[in-house]
Amino acid sequence: MTRPTPRDSLALAKGYHSPQVDVKVRLNTNEAPEAPPERFVDALAAAVKDIAWNRYPDRAASALRSKIAESEQHLVGGLIDMNNVLVANGSNEVLQSVCLTYGGPGRSVLTIEPTYQLHSHIARITGTDVIQVERNDDFTIDLDAVLRTVEQDRPSVIFVCSPNNPTGLIEDEHTIVALLDAAESVGALLVVDEAYGQFARWSSLSLVSEERSILVSRTFSKTWSLAGLRLGYAIGPTWVIDAISAVVLPYHLDAIKQRAGELALDDAEAMAARVATLVEERGRIMAEFAKMPLEYWPSESNFVLFRPTDIDGDAVWHELVERSVMVRNCSGWDRLDGCLRVTVGTPEENGEFLTQLRDVLGGDGQLWDA
């Protein structure tokens, strides 16, 4: 028997995986540290009883899209409605749908590295070429290099993650506008990945309009505490949403997911409170990092990237696991030698992480300040 083989372009492709190890404190996957409110769970359980299981879900997901538009309206410059919203099975499906629509053979996307690995991974598995531009040494965007590359290579899509994963750095309005202008000059679409947007002080949603070639993607996984739901969305001009909708499979968003998203949006106050707590804890972690023998990058997300200066980062990661604390080991990633990334957890989890990290690094904080 001759077995079928994947296409040649997938021969060297590697999947995107995060270790799932049984530890006391798991701070490696940027999940929300707490479950959504019990009232949400109760409301969803009640709503499940009313689902017509023998019928397909609303193909257009009209109610959910309308609610998303309403919830994000305050961040957008002009008026938006459901026709400006794309919903998907996690924001990764948004990225995949973008590549299926605007990418493919003979087309390319531009990524600004290091950044979210699935930007390039998804592009490649859709048969899209990937053009990579390196960031500056401090991981800020080398805008001149990006603009030169856009003019020279004329990508169909430009991906930018803000706040960036794994660095946590946010791009200011000047940078995003410059990228948008460059995209439009070559007929490209600028996709701003705001998976962590609610943790930041500024959003690219303010630039969305019918006249501009920009799409902003977000997710329910982080701030809404619904990583297990796999629900994401994007907001952009109607002509972009219409184009992308043509590649989305029929009835791709199930009835439970649609209803859960609607119910979550009814509890925006609880979401905002969770975000405020995480931002406060993020500040606490960075304040403690400033006392330790390590380098860290100021984050506007729900994680912080850091690099121990006296001990190899990979060794620190293993020592933390031995102490039942897991962070993300980025030390093998390009340009991130020795780097680790910690998700902001509950105050108790963060306290345990900081205690164990101090112990691994060999000090109590006061000695390092001397």
260-304 pLDDT, tens digit each: 999 999 999 999 999 999 999 999 999 999 999 999 999 999 999
Higher pLDDT, 8 or 104: 104
With a cut of 60, say whether residue 370 has pLDDT above it. no
The pLDDT value recorded for residue 19 is 61
Written as six digits, the tokens of 292 are 């330790």
Report CA torsion sign: 281, 274, 323, 195: negative
The pLDDT value recorded for residue 14 is 61
The answer to whether the CB of 285 falls within 8 A of the CB of 350 is yes
Q: Where are the beta strands (DSSP E) in the chain?
A: 25-27, 85-88, 108-113, 129-134, 157-161, 189-193, 214-219, 232-235, 294-296, 303-308, 325-329, 340-343
- Give tens-digit pLDDT for 316-360: 999 999 999 999 999 989 999 999 999 999 999 999 999 999 999
With a cut of 50, say whether residue 369 has pLDDT above it. no
What's at 143, amino acid-wise?
L
Q: Can you tell me the distance from the alpha carbon of 115 to that of 166, in angstroms, rounded to the nearest whole number?
A: 6
The pLDDT value recorded for residue 78 is 86
With a cut of 50, say whether residue 367 has pLDDT above it. no
- Give tens-digit pLDDT for 204-235: 999 999 999 999 999 999 999 999 999 999 99
Query: H/E/C letters for each residue in 107-132?
Result: CEEEEEECCCHHHHHHHHHCCCEEEE
Q: Hey, how many other C-beta atoms are within 10 angstroms of the C-beta on 6?
A: 9
Q: Can you tell me the distance from the alpha carbon of 33 to that of 26, in angstroms, rounded to the nearest whole number?
A: 9
The pLDDT value recorded for residue 18 is 58
The answer to whether the CB of 40 falls within 8 A of the CB of 267 is yes
The pLDDT value recorded for residue 13 is 57
Average pLDDT over residues 178-185: 98
- Give tens-digit pLDDT for 50-85: 999 999 999 999 999 999 999 999 999 889 999 999
**Average pLDDT value over all residues in the chain:** 94
The pLDDT value recorded for residue 99 is 98
**CA distances (Å), 194 to each of 43, 114, 335, in order?**
28, 16, 23
With a cut of 80, say whether residue 368 has pLDDT above it. no
Q: At what angle do helices 117-125 and 91-102 cross, to 10 degrees?
A: 50
- Give tens-digit pLDDT for 77-134: 889 999 999 999 999 999 999 999 999 999 999 999 999 999 999 999 999 999 999 9
| 323 phi, psi to nearest 5 deg | -95, 15
The pLDDT value recorded for residue 8 is 74
- Give tens-digit pLDDT for 19-58: 667 899 999 999 999 999 999 999 999 999 999 999 999 9
**CA distances (Å), 111 to each of 157, 164, 323, 337, 360, in order?**
9, 12, 36, 20, 35
With a cut of 60, say whether residue 12 has pLDDT above it. no
Q: Which conformational region is residue 362 in: left (phi greater than 0), alpha (psi within -120 to 50 degrees), or beta?
A: left
The pLDDT value recorded for residue 15 is 54
Q: Hey, how many other C-beta atoms are within 10 angstroms of the C-beta on 192?
A: 27
The answer to pTM > 0.75 is yes
pLDDT grade for 5, boundaries at 50, 70 and 90: confident
Q: Which domains does the chain have, with CATH numbers?
A: 18-36+269-369 (3.90.1150.10), 39-266 (3.40.640.10)
